[in-house]
Amino acid sequence: MTLVAILTGAGISTDSGIPDYRGPNGVWRRDPGAEKYATYDVYMGDPEIRRRAWRLRGETPTLRAKPNAGHRAVTDLDRSGTTVRVITQNVDGLHQMAGMPPAKVLELHGTAREIMCTACRRRSPMDRALARVAAGEDDPPCEECGGILKSATVMFGERLDRVVLARATSIAKACEVFIAVGSTLQVRPAASLAGVAADHGARLIVVNADPTPYDHRAERVIREPIGVSLPALLKTFHTR
């Protein structure tokens, strides 16, 4: 049975109201200073940065977003009987909300829907921490050990989870089809998975509004809007 690996980046979630990071109107381009809120050493060393970060978490559209046609198309492919694995650079959890089994989704950069303690590594729901902030705790400590809390996302300066990355690499090596959707394919090591898949004989398909470094290796490059083009593309891989 054909294994279809789907790498998703920020572009698949823009139709859900979540801005991308590196596109023409991306978060980092509009406000380069925003990166400091997601930089581990700065976050850990500056209480004021943490207070601002907590305020931003309460305002972010990520936790209010709903899956769109692109996310649903991925779930429909999985439900058709095709073997699907999702490798996502996104932290929004929308693939799971769209019905993809969590075991079939690898979150390379973690999740914004949970927090973790930097000391004891305890994890808990983001909603609970935001409720504490709304109640007046501007930099809530861990309830278990008093350590500094952060979102359960991979910040700049942190390494990806080695187990998750190893699983993603294994999928890239084993798949027959590798579809990169809404990713600039510039952030390593996630971006290199497209090359790994192509090196191991997979058909590489790139769905992205702008050129990527792997377009020349792709069997097909699609520039049309993801919400329309991805459902049409994935239907061609349905097994029933």
pLDDT digits (tens, 9 = 90+) for 33-42: 677 888 999 9
Decide if 216 is catalytic.
no
Catalytic residue among 71, 95, 109, 238: 109
Q: Indicate the average pLDDT of the chain.
A: 92
Predicted pLDDT at 217: 95
Predicted pLDDT at 29: 54
Predicted pLDDT at 26: 52
* DSSP state string for 183-219: --S-STTTTHHHHHHHHTTPEEEEE-SS--TTGGG-S
Q: Among all chains, which residue has been given the structure tokens 């932290």?
A: 91
Residue 183 near residue 212 (C-beta atoms within 8 A)? yes
Domain 1-18+67-109+160-240 -> CATH class? alpha beta
Please, is 77 exposed, middle or buried when counting C-beta atoms within 10 Å of its C-beta (0-12, 13-18, 19+)?
A: buried
pLDDT digits (tens, 9 = 90+) for 99-120: 999 999 999 999 999 999 999 9
What's the CATH superfamily of 23-60+111-153? SIR2/SIRT2 'Small Domain' (3.30.1600.10)
183 vs 9, 191, 202, CA distance in Å?
Answer: 4, 8, 18
Mean pLDDT, range 210-217, rounded to an integer: 94
pLDDT digits (tens, 9 = 90+) for 142-179: 999 999 999 999 999 999 999 999 999 999 999 999 99
Please, is 139 exposed, middle or buried when counting C-beta atoms within 10 Å of its C-beta (0-12, 13-18, 19+)?
A: middle
Model pTM score: 0.91
| Partners of residue 115 on adjacent β-strands | 124, 151
pLDDT of 127 over the 60 cut: yes
Predicted pLDDT at 35: 77
Q: In the numeric block, which tokens belong to residue 80?
A: 């058709």
Prior bond to 101 cis, omega within 30?
no
Task: Domain ranges for the chain, please list them.
Answer: 1-18+67-109+160-240, 23-60+111-153
